[in-house]
Structure 1
């Protein structure tokens, strides 16, 4: 029998229940996939807590990112075959040893990418890619602020942005995380527990401030993030690690210098097959060439997903984390 972590009622990590499941044969346009590694993301906690309602209702299997091997294909599937190594970053239901899923979110893995690396980077790496290449087309000479710079997206984004010629300022929560951030492309690491990050950005930039702030934290960094931007700068809110932003003020954008603001998601940036492959192939290129390293700093058994969620929400993780079936 296959096993999975399921959510029967929304709530804290304690609602994650590891149990046996039945996995049938794939239908038309589907494959049966045996997972080898599963990515852990803050997005998973949003579905678990009910911040984001599950499109499957209750119960549901959380997780949107994993790598594995195809064991069976359904009718009409020609792009994949049994034995193919594949990965995905945008399909709910990853916390399982096996699953049946549509082929649309899947991409084949090149030999240069290990399974654990793929599981740790698909959602986070493709997020970093659209943030740098589409939300704002980063160019050499830009100065950016990355909140949670020692987190999964933060470490990937910082390395990639530095390669593109930007100056990266990053916020972190400890001296150890500051060291990790600096080792991964952050030119200036700010410990927000010891320094006012707005004042520190002003000092670093000599008052010029930032072209973009990438904010995956949410409630705890708003509205201060707006004060780190130069006139007509861009506030990118792409996550809610500390809770969703409440009472967002459009008037504040005017008052603080004709600022721009956006709340993008990965799912709309990989909604078509062409967009998915373009994004994934760019990610494979920078990782396969060594431009971006994917640090897998924590590993948990899939059965211990609740513990992993507690550590993630307690800010006790850095970089990427994988769950192993």
Structure 2
């Protein structure tokens, strides 16, 4: 099979496209022919050597995608060849063929297109987890999303809006500001402005996947509010004094999706909830930016440069 692989950690220059050995499934696994593969900032960190990556020679990045099952192990009864599925936590996804334990596969409803399914897989399940497991906002709450115009921010905005939460955000440009407003945000601030001085102690929750903005997120958080910290897309977060949090009754909530997405039933329940938002028209997915897998190096550079205003996908 063809795959995007690398032998050493580093910049996108370490990436190569070519032939590698096909995966072989066991009795509890399914083999998927990928149609679209998700690219995320975590993949950049893994390529650099900053995140854990599953051992393999050569190394193959990627953990999410969608495709068609082409073979099943003898113990697999929930799936069959021809089923259209997404997966969000399976290594070695930057390839034409991916094997996985059958419990990691999630069936895609007929009403949802390939591009939409691939665009909402990992980011959609993450947004659902942040909203419903960590923040647990109530209708009428005011929340802020740092980096609201990114792929995850767009989905989170729409989920929270559908849940009748008032969404505010921070974006890096006027065009991204307008995009977020079109998705239901009440107001979106430009990152380079001094907007935060007028919004001290205002928000019930702040969703922060940028990392470097953590102090600002705490500044605009109200008494007894919580920052939902879920990533470092903008760089490492500053050190936080817990005594300051104690004095203000402010909390930082964080967690790993994989501690909640633990089996087939949890994946099915959560994905059905996510798919319902789409089928009800409450989530509209922006057309993704698609690169061929052979042009994977360019895709990584595009994402790393901050050019994306939505999902970046690789097509084998």
Report the TM range for the smaller structure's normalisation.
Answer: over 0.9
Counterpart in 1 of 2:72? 73
1:241-320 aligned at under 5 Å gives the runs 241-255=233-247, 257-320=248-311
> Displacement, 1:293?
1.1
Instruction: Normalising by structure 2, report the TM-score.
Output: 0.96
| Deviation per residue, 1:10-30 (Å, 9 max, x gap) | 222222221211214321111
Counterpart in 1 of 2:222? 230
Tell me, yes or no, if the aligned pair for 2:104 and 2:263 is still in contact at 8 Å.
no
Distance in 2 (CA, whole Å) between partners of 1:260 and 1:171 is: 20
Counterpart in 2 of 1:215? 208
Instruction: Normalising by structure 1, report the TM-score.
Output: 0.93
| Deviation per residue, 1:77-115 (Å, 9 max, x gap) | 111111110111111221111122221211111101111
Secondary structure at the counterpart of residue 296 of structure 1: coil
Tell me, yes or no, if the aligned pair for 2:3 and 2:17 is still in contact at 8 Å.
yes
Distance in 2 (CA, whole Å) between partners of 1:248 and 1:4 is: 41
Distance in 1 (CA, whole Å) between partners of 2:257 and 2:246 is: 28
Tell me, yes or no, if the aligned pair for 1:171 and 1:197 is still in contact at 8 Å.
no
Distance in 2 (CA, whole Å) between partners of 1:84 and 1:225 is: 43
Distance in 1 (CA, whole Å) between partners of 2:177 and 2:310 is: 12
In structure 2, stretches of 5+ residues that fail to align are none
> Displacement, 1:199?
2.1
Counterpart in 2 of 1:140? 139
> Displacement, 1:284?
0.7
Distance in 1 (CA, whole Å) between partners of 2:231 and 2:18 is: 30
> Post-superposition, which runs of at least 4 consecutive aligned residues in structure 1 deviate over 6 A?
none
Counterpart in 2 of 1:199? 197
Distance in 2 (CA, whole Å) between partners of 1:64 and 1:184 is: 27
Tell me, yes or no, if the aligned pair for 1:33 and 1:99 is still in contact at 8 Å.
yes
Tell me, yes or no, if the aligned pair for 1:178 and 1:189 is still in contact at 8 Å.
yes
Secondary structure at the counterpart of residue 104 of structure 2: coil
In structure 1, stretches of 5+ residues that fail to align are none
Distance in 1 (CA, whole Å) between partners of 2:147 and 2:6 is: 27
Distance in 1 (CA, whole Å) between partners of 2:39 and 2:195 is: 28
> CA-atom RMSD, angstroms?
1.5
Distance in 2 (CA, whole Å) between partners of 1:31 and 1:48 is: 26
> Displacement, 1:246?
4.4
Distance in 1 (CA, whole Å) between partners of 2:188 and 2:8 is: 39
Distance 1:315-1:22 versus aligned 2 partners, 3 A rule: same
> Displacement, 1:9?
1.5
Secondary structure at the counterpart of residue 153 of structure 1: helix
Tell me, yes or no, if the aligned pair for 2:65 and 2:86 is still in contact at 8 Å.
yes
